[in-house]
């Protein structure tokens, strides 16, 4: 993806990592609600059929500014094109970008992308746990500004996995993580995931040079092994390194690998971290790691897992192999028991932070260290 002639460069403003969803049917319109980070011009959407087994035919696609619910601000719903055509067929395993849409895109705003799926079958590609309500209508309703036809609510994003704008003098941070990054236990429909709080902080940082924030979390995801989604090692290129304008990767991984009786060893985790470091550096990006949060009280907590957690956190803090470290563990652990989340930050299950915890995580990030890593 090339820079435009006005000196701006493509940068991701929103992303949601692709995964395999339930079978999808034809002749439906998905009205997907997303929240931007960086503003710019020339909006492009990226559609993914990464996990599909059959071609998906998108008959029409529109993008506009959200008014409320499934309704689009009148006059803002604009047709997207793909290599000049209104329709596009996406083959299994393939992603496609739309052509740029003329006009500005506001930072930190709600957009609606409407996708009329003319033909589909078999597994759909999308993001299962959106923490955001979107909508579905029968037939082709993509061009409609009103929301009356969109009678079914969904909590997943289908087919859409990134939005890109042209913006001057800025880049993006992508967070590779699991359900904590995905936002579980934050308040739904409020954009209170910790990467959302981070985006709001970056927006107020003078000269940060990093205004795009991409959330590459998948609930239940592991660094080393497939399960809830492909492992982070397998999906690193597709979900993170392929994003336009990316400068820095934040790696926040480990709790799903180490919990339980058959959890990963410290040596295996460090080897996995080193693979990520090497691949990110080959791609010319900065790499920052976050320590693993305490989770005593979660059913799969064990003394052995706690020992591994402390050992890999010591590696993240002291090894010097990352460009910088973010100490979520220190910021959110209980002062009375460092193996537990501090109760004001606990979403209720002893593993996932609530909104206050999510904000505390974002507040822990040293913003200049992200800029340093991006050089």
Query: pLDDT for 36-70, tens place per residue?
Result: 999 999 999 999 999 999 999 999 999 999 999 99
Alpha-helical segments (H) within 68-203: 179-182, 194-203
**In which band, very low, low, confident or very high, does the pLDDT at 375 lie, cut at 50, 70 and 90?**
low
Percent of the chain with pLDDT over 90: 94
| Superfamily in which the 169-373 domain is placed by CATH | SGNH hydrolase (3.40.50.1110)
pLDDT of residue 2: 52
Mean pLDDT, range 137-149, rounded to an integer: 98
Mean pLDDT across the chain:
96
- Residue in 334, 329, 359, 13 with CA at minimum distance from that of residue 186: 359
pLDDT at 274 over 50: yes
| CB contact at 8 A, 128 and 64 | no
Q: Which residue has the tokens 């985790």?
A: 269
Q: Is the pLDDT of residue 3 over 50?
A: no
Q: What is the pLDDT of residue 163?
A: 98
Cα–Cα distance measured from residue 240 to residue 232, given in angstroms and rounded to the nearest whole number: 10
List C-alpha distances in Å: 39 to 5, 12, 34, 291, 332. Answer: 18, 10, 13, 30, 31
**CA–CA separation, 343 and 353 (whole Å):** 9
Query: Is residue 324's pLDDT more than 70?
Result: yes
The answer to whether 7 and 40 have CB atoms below 8 angstroms apart is no
Average pLDDT over residues 228-250: 98
At residue 373 the predicted structure's pLDDT band, cuts being 50, 70 and 90, is confident
Burial, 86: exposed, middle or buried (Cβ in 10 Å; 0-12, 13-18, 19+)? middle
Average pLDDT on 80-97 reads 98
Token pair belonging to 258: 């180490």
**8 vs 60, residue with greater confidence:** 60
pTM for the full predicted model? 0.96
What confidence score (pLDDT) does residue 243 get?
98
Q: What's the average model confidence in pLDDT over 3-28? A: 87
């Amino acid at each position: 993806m090339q820079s435009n002639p006005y000196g701006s460069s493509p940068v991701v403003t929103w992303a949601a990592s692709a995964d395999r969803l339930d079978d999808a049917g034809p002749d439906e319109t998905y009205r997907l609600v997303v929240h931007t980070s960086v503003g710019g011009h020339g909006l492009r959407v990226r559609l993914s059929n990464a996990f599909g087994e059959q071609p998906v035919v998108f008959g029409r696609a529109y993008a506009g500014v959200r008014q409320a619910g499934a309704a689009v601000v009148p006059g803002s719903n604009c047709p997207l094109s793909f290599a000049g055509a209104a329709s596009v067929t996406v083959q299994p395993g393939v992603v496609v970008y739309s052509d740029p849409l003329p006009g500005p895109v506001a930072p930190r705003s709600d957009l609606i992308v409407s996708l009329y799926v003319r033909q589909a079958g078999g597994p759909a590609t999308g993001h299962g746990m959106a923490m955001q309500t979107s909508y579905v209508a029968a037939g082709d309703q993509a061009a409609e500004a009103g929301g009356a036809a969109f009678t079914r609510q969904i909590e997943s994003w289908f087919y859409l996995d990134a939005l890109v704008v042209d913006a001057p003098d800025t880049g993006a941070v992508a967070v590779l993580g699991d359900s904590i990054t995905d936002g579980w236990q934050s308040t739904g429909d409020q954009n209170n995931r910790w990467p959302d709080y981070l985006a709001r902080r970056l927006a107020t940082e003078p000269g940060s040079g990093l205004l795009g924030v991409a959330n590459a979390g998948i609930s239940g995801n592991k660094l080393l092994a497939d399960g809830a989604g492909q492992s982070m090692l397998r999906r690193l290129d597709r979900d993170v390194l392929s994003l336009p304008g990316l400068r820095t990767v934040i790696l926040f991984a480990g709790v799903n690998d180490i919990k339980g009786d058959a959890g990963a060893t410290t040596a295996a985790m460090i080897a996995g971290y080193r693979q990520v470091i090497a691949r990110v550096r080959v791609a010319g990006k900065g790499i920052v790691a976050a320590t693993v949060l305490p989770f005593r009280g979660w059913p799969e907590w064990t003394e052995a897992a706690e020992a591994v957690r402390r050992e890999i956190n010591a590696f993240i803090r002291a090894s010097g192999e990352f460009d910088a470290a973010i100490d979520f563990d220190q910021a959110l652990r209980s002062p009375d028991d460092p193996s537990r989340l501090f109760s004001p930050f606990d979403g209720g299950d002893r593993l996932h932070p609530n909104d206050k915890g999510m904000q505390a995580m974002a507040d822990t990030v040293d913003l200049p260290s992200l800029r340093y890593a991006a050089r």
